[in-house]
Structure 1
Amino acid sequence: MLSSLAADRARVADLDAHILFLERSLEELKSQRQPVLERLDSYKYPVLTLPNEITIEIFMHFLPTYPLCPPLTGLDSPALLTQVCRTWREIALGTAALWRAISIPLRAQMLFKHQLRLSSIWLNRSSCSPISLDLNEDVIYPLHGTELLSALMLHCARWQHLNLRHLTVPLLRMIQVPMPLLRSLDLSLIDFNQDSIRAKVVFPEAHLLRTVVLNDHAAEVLTLPWVQLTSLTLHGVYPQECVPILQYTSNLVHCKLALVDDDDGDVTVPDITLPALRSLELAGYAEGYLKTLIVPALRDLRVSESFLEPECVETLAAFISKSHCQLEELCVTDSTPESRDSYRDAFLLITVSFGRSTWYS
């Protein structure tokens, strides 16, 4: 009993001595750590010594070129810049241009509230900057589109580039509001029926609008200030549907028409003159359509061989002669290898190339 008591007392003494040793060692390590921390605090990373203006320029090159939109989250989002360090976060949050291009894909019901919240954050961070919006509406959840558009319309005076895909006509009617800064519109409509076009959709006060891309439904339901456009793309339209639009687009410089042929062979398309047009692309198929266009300023033509058949070279020569244009570039898409030499031989003063159509009906 006495020997056990003596052993425990000796063990406690040893432990106390060891604790004292460790405490002294810990104090020594702390004293060594402090100057290291002070040196780290005083160290300036080279990138953080740059003027804010240069850092902002680097940030802008991190993003897609405006008006292209980065994702709301992830490695390609400007939100990543706010997570690197405090300095970068302050600079990023204070740079409105980083948040002016907003892409909102409505693909999952469970994520909608999160997307709506992030969109509101980006809109607030963009301050008074003109904005680019890329909205891909989900057919399954049209109520989400209503809620989102209601929030976006609070900023309609700042809309500069608008990309609305898979939108319904009722949602489109919501945004018949003044858009004084709008320069480009890319719109495709779905859920289309004849009842929906009884009243046309008009965008009032879009005086800066110059570039427009429409699918067939949007081209039929939408009324725009056509005369001020300089670039127009129509997808999946019948040739006769182009007439009420092209007859007012006298200032067009660039035009792409992806056409579908009308089964009614009795439909006659009148000649259309586009005096300022310099580049034209025709895709899809519409027999005889090329001969209806008179384009005296045309310099660049990209046309599917289906528009030229059956006498391809003769059709092109007649088109050039009728328009009195000085064509410089000719690209015949979806051509047969056997026909290519005939184009080169017939148009020696024109740069002739061949490729594939960028659109299929």
Structure 2
Amino acid sequence: MAMLCDRFAGEVLASLRFLVLVYTRPPPLPQAASSGQYMARDQLIVSCGLPDDSRRVHLEALLSLQDAKLAKLERQIICLQKQRDDVQNIVDRYRAVLSSARQLPFEVLQEIFIHCLPGERNAAMSIREAPLLLGQVCRAWRSVSQCTPRLWASIHIPIPCALIGDAIPESRKAASARNELVKAWLERSGSCPLSISLAEIFANETSPDFHVLSNAGADVMATLAQFSRRWRRVEFSCSSSAFQTLMAVSREDVPMLESLSIECIQDRQKEFSKSAFLAPRLRTVRLSHMPGDISDYRLDWSNITELFVDDHGSSTEREPYVHHKITLPKAWELLSRCQNLVRCTLHINDRDESALTENALDPIYLPCLTELDVTEGLCFLSPLFDCIHAPGLRTFRFATSLKRLDHMFSPSKFLSRLSALKALTLDLTTLSRTHIIECLRWTPTIASLTLMTPNRGNRQYVFQDERWKLLPAVCDDSLLELFVRREETADTCLCPRLQSFQCNWNSFTDVTLLRFVKSRTGSAGGLERVAVSFDRAQTVDLKSPLTAAIAEGLELSVDYPPIVSVSAWEGLRWDCLNRI
């Protein structure tokens, strides 16, 4: 083999030397051509003149000669390239034999494979990512991947579903194949705890094929139920038939379940069992669009550490889908049951006025609560915030669907009791400038501030006096100036410990923003991240004056709307554009 490689290498070197001589040796002059004729040709190249007949004959002869040389060189290059590829193939094969990857122990390779899994979600059933991708490399890797149960302990399952009757056989066939793949996947997981997410894409409920298509999710859910004793984290977004299968799971079937997330996207049943909620180790609950009253769910509320509740609904004979809003008393009841809450998200949409007047809300003590996210809709939450006592709260987010009114609610009183708060998010569409300043005065300890709008975009409207009106942005120059640190007002500026500032709805200028950032970077402050979105064009270059701060680690993200340009072909008929 060594002699073969040496022979190929010698041929490659000899060919390369030949090419060097060919390219570096000046071409001989044709016998019929003189130096004066070459000078004349050079003049033709740099001028716009036309050659006469005699010169044209000499030029065509010269071009034919050079074309023949080029063709010969091309053939030599192809031959050399083939020889090089043959040598490279031999080198690659032997180099693969000596690669360090082949010398890795079986256990080390398993750990490397496990680190190839996605970190923030479950593994997808695709050959473009682990674990299926790992089995496409070679037979040895396929054997290692199939013998590593932890690689198959997480799975995301999208349920294919047709929307028209002609596609139902194909959809049913794809769903059956997907069901078999899910079963084989989970069987490879051995005895590992499972993390599962299922998302069902369903047809319109009024379609005559809806009951046929819904069975796809129910079939997969029935397969998953066979492995329920190993469920650890499950997330289901499914239709009524699949949801019914889930609710049939008993307490004894889910001894390892710690996190349960359910979104019922279609609901027809009137009654169902909620035994799955009685899992003895259940700590995290996420519920969205659930039927019935959530407070009636049979949960061991004292064990819940993370609670996320969005709009929930159920069906009746008269109305196929009805939202049951989380009332203020129900929200108080949920919080009072969960004494060990660490993280909580609630979307409170309306309130029972009679319940508030008849029964006063007793204080709620949540000593472990560190993160609270509340969305207010169609009600004011001051009675709820007045009774919550969370001395360890570090992150608070508040948003509301209520537009700016004279009697708007401000969480400043609640914020005044949070001495450990580090991160604050406020909804700019519902708070006045005075309320925002009041909230920030009570939170001097925060390091992260987000002033945002629930809807993307810098223009917000309110329906008032039977028409839509543009809301003025409250975050203007005068408000941002209160954040600027000055020597004489260093102790009185808003949020003196600020490290992160985000704002997606504002009317302040680039000059004021630059002044604020300069006053909070370098030795003057500890600002580390700024993210701002404008609905206007840029007026001042921000990055050049902040070059030193960016070099020291400042993350600056300033977005402006793109410049809209009109195409020169705009407005032409499409059939005319085909001729361009």
Short-chain TM bin: 0.7 to 0.9
- Deviation of 1:105 after TM superposition, in Å, equals 0.8
Does 2:134 align with 1:71?
A: no
Alpha carbons of 1:130 and 1:41: their partners in 2 closer, same or farther (altered >3 Å)?
same
- Deviation of 1:352 after TM superposition, in Å, equals 6.0
Residue number in structure 2 paired with 1:54: 108
- Deviation of 1:148 after TM superposition, in Å, equals 1.8
Which of the residues 142, 159, 167 maps onto 1:106? 159
CA distance in 2, matches of 1:41, 1:355: 57
Question: How many correspondences in the alignment?
Answer: 321
CA distance in 1, matches of 2:448, 2:405: 19
Does 2:269 align with 1:214?
A: no
CA distance in 1, matches of 2:401, 2:420: 20
Structure 1 residues 29-85: Cα deviation after superposition (integer angstroms, max 9, x where no partner)? xxx99xx69x7498233222222233222212221127x211112312411111101
The letter of the residue matching 1:303 is: F
Which of the residues 204, 222, 234 maps onto 1:162? 234
- Deviation of 1:205 after TM superposition, in Å, equals 5.4
- 2:374–2:398 Cα contact (<8 Å) kept: yes
Q: Percent identity?
A: 23
Alpha carbons of 1:145 and 1:166: their partners in 2 closer, same or farther (altered >3 Å)?
closer
- Deviation of 1:191 after TM superposition, in Å, equals 3.2
- 1:180–1:206 Cα contact (<8 Å) kept: yes
SS of the aligned residue for 2:260 comes to: strand
Matches within 5 A, 1:18-167: 40=94, 43-65=97-119, 68-108=121-161, 109=171, 110-139=173-202, 140=210, 141-167=213-239
Structure 1 residues 322-350: Cα deviation after superposition (integer angstroms, max 9, x where no partner)? xx442423523321584544433443344
Matches within 5 A, 1:1-361: 40=94, 43-65=97-119, 68-108=121-161, 109=171, 110-139=173-202, 140=210, 141-168=213-240, 169-178=243-252, 179-192=254-267, 196-197=270-271, 200-203=273-276, 206-217=279-290, 220=293, 222-236=297-311, 237-239=325-327, 240-262=329-351, 265-266=353-354, 268=356, 270-271=361-362, 273-276=364-367, 277-293=369-385, 294-297=388-391, 298-304=393-399, 315-320=410-415, 324-335=417-428, 338=433, 340-351=436-447, 353-356=449-452
- 1:283–1:359 Cα contact (<8 Å) kept: no
Bigger radius of gyration, 1 or 2? 2
The letter of the residue matching 1:91 is: V
- 1:258–1:359 Cα contact (<8 Å) kept: no
- 2:200–2:238 Cα contact (<8 Å) kept: yes
CA distance in 2, matches of 1:254, 1:42: 51
Alpha carbons of 1:281 and 1:69: their partners in 2 closer, same or farther (altered >3 Å)?
same
- Deviation of 1:143 after TM superposition, in Å, equals 1.6
The letter of the residue matching 1:317 is: S
- 2:412–2:438 Cα contact (<8 Å) kept: no
- 2:303–2:338 Cα contact (<8 Å) kept: yes
Q: TM-score, normalised by structure 1?
A: 0.76
- Deviation of 1:153 after TM superposition, in Å, equals 1.5
Structure 1 residues 79-134: Cα deviation after superposition (integer angstroms, max 9, x where no partner)? 11111011111111111111010111112324111111111111111011111111
Alpha carbons of 1:205 and 1:173: their partners in 2 closer, same or farther (altered >3 Å)?
closer
CA distance in 2, matches of 1:182, 1:281: 25
- 1:289–1:307 Cα contact (<8 Å) kept: no
What is the CA RMSD across the aligned residues, in angstroms? 3.4
Which of 1 and 2 has higher RCO (CA within 8 Å, sep 6+)?
Answer: 1
Unaligned runs of 5+ in 2: 1-85, 162-170, 203-209, 312-324, 457-580
Alpha carbons of 1:81 and 1:318: their partners in 2 closer, same or farther (altered >3 Å)?
same
* Structure 1, 345-354 or 155-164: larger mean CA deviation: 345-354
Q: Which structure dedicates a bigger proportion of its chain to helix?
A: 1
- Deviation of 1:288 after TM superposition, in Å, equals 2.2
- 1:183–1:208 Cα contact (<8 Å) kept: yes
Alpha carbons of 1:146 and 1:174: their partners in 2 closer, same or farther (altered >3 Å)?
farther
CA distance in 1, matches of 2:188, 2:338: 37
The letter of the residue matching 2:220 is: L
Alpha carbons of 1:153 and 1:347: their partners in 2 closer, same or farther (altered >3 Å)?
closer
Alpha carbons of 1:40 and 1:313: their partners in 2 closer, same or farther (altered >3 Å)?
same
Alpha carbons of 1:124 and 1:241: their partners in 2 closer, same or farther (altered >3 Å)?
same
Unaligned runs of 5+ in 1: 1-31
Alpha carbons of 1:251 and 1:88: their partners in 2 closer, same or farther (altered >3 Å)?
same
